[in-house]
Structure 1
């Protein structure tokens, strides 16, 4: 549940001013993640607020820590994809998505101060154009369930009182399991855990769309979106629309040609659509 008091602490309390301003200046960090000092300082605040039993302060510090983590994951995903480590980039995008879901329960970036809405949207757009379509979805039977806060076993007749997804002393409450038996594994297109991409010796993924897209983005904070059009034959045509106007005065840049992007092997080039009057350049 989003608490106004926690949001006010994040946005207005002097205790968090330096960290807040650093996170608000996220666009200046195109390739660099936050320093370890940023997280260490927030951990100290959480420790001190835990001693004084100030749950509001510890929750606000947790929110800022998660915001920083989401920003860092998105920057890391961009860097990995730029270096052709596409699966690593995919995993960082999934981590952005998961962490954003946890954050949504406690804080809303409704004023778009920290780039969370940009990340949320762009992660979904990246997922559209990744070639991963089938995933493993394992099923398990857990005989014992425990609370991460108090380590107490949870049964139908015994509940510790700690709510799943809530923050206690700056820690997220979740459930962990013991005495697990594997049940079955499915191959499906929409799994709960998107990390489990199917990789086999006979499956080869074409990352061409991602490669051309990432090479023409100047920064992870540039906006773009993908329009999907089903083809009459099998496959999908993708139109990548960049929203940023690139500076025409950079004469050592040259405009790219049009390419066509498609899952149909007959359409092997790439197509980019741009807002009226805009041009895209590359070195």
Structure 2
């Protein structure tokens, strides 16, 4: 693909160079999607999360320029399941940087971009098979805030990699135990379940085990059990990994269910 792109660029075939560049991006997105599942199987969750973000960004560019017929490259499928996978991660807080851009350059011609000076290349377009972006080459950080909806999803609070990760990933681990390959179709359904009070040692005036931050006596102690979030996994088709599997009280497999 790279050779074809370069040949088109050298012959000033902008349409051909752009098409090969997009096919190259599609191929990279497909391979990154497969890589995510290898990383998850290796318990390298944070790196997998970062790769999911890169796929998400790449697909936004691809869909701006490429029209799919019956999703022949599975890009629309990947876009849907990247979002579903991201929802299974426990990350809630992110670091968001506030900074001043002192110098921005065009990735095509390397000229400095400012409000008064433009190089003529349009951000997001392709030129001889190369995607135009604006590169921040000099910046000053003013502040860092903790937010729930970040611009950069890679900036997860309290985790930097596999060896520095205080989070637990039960939903992801369970998903990997029931699917056969990355292109299985699945969905989730959120609900609440009640777990027996006998499973908990919290005192009446302690914080409720459900995580509400209220006192136990003012929260779940009044109920038939401790109310906890519950996730059902719905598979469109049974998989080899679920053959003969008996659902437990923690997860439910609904074969043939719809999202």
The TM-score by the shorter chain falls in which range? 0.7 to 0.9
Greater radius of gyration (CA): 2
2:123 aligned partner: 164
The counterpart of 1:78, out of the listed 4, 29, 37, is 37
Could you say what secondary structure the match of 2:65 adopts? coil
- Gap regions ≥5 residues in structure 1: 1-41, 261-268, 277-283
The counterpart of 1:97, out of the listed 45, 56, 71, is 56
Residue 273 of structure 1: how far off its partner (Å)? 2.7
Q: Is the 8 A contact 2:46 2:159 kept in 1?
A: no
Alpha carbons of 1:138 and 1:254: their partners in 2 closer, same or farther (altered >3 Å)? Answer: same
The counterpart of 1:199, out of the listed 143, 152, 158, is 158
2:254 aligned partner: 273
Could you say what secondary structure the match of 2:144 adopts? strand
2:205 aligned partner: none
Matched, 1:108 2:67: yes
Matched, 1:239 2:202: no
1:127 aligned partner: 86
Matched, 1:228 2:190: yes
TM-score (norm 2): 0.79
TM-score (norm 1): 0.73
Name the Cα RMSD after superposition. Answer: 2.3
How many residues align structurally? 223
2:245 aligned partner: 256
Cα distance in 2, alignment partners of residues 91 and 111 from structure 1? 28
The counterpart of 1:185, out of the listed 144, 147, 168, is 144
Q: Which runs of 4+ in 1 moved over 3 A?
A: 200-203, 229-236
Cα distance in 1, alignment partners of residues 182 and 189 from structure 2? 19
- Gap regions ≥5 residues in structure 2: 195-209, 213-227
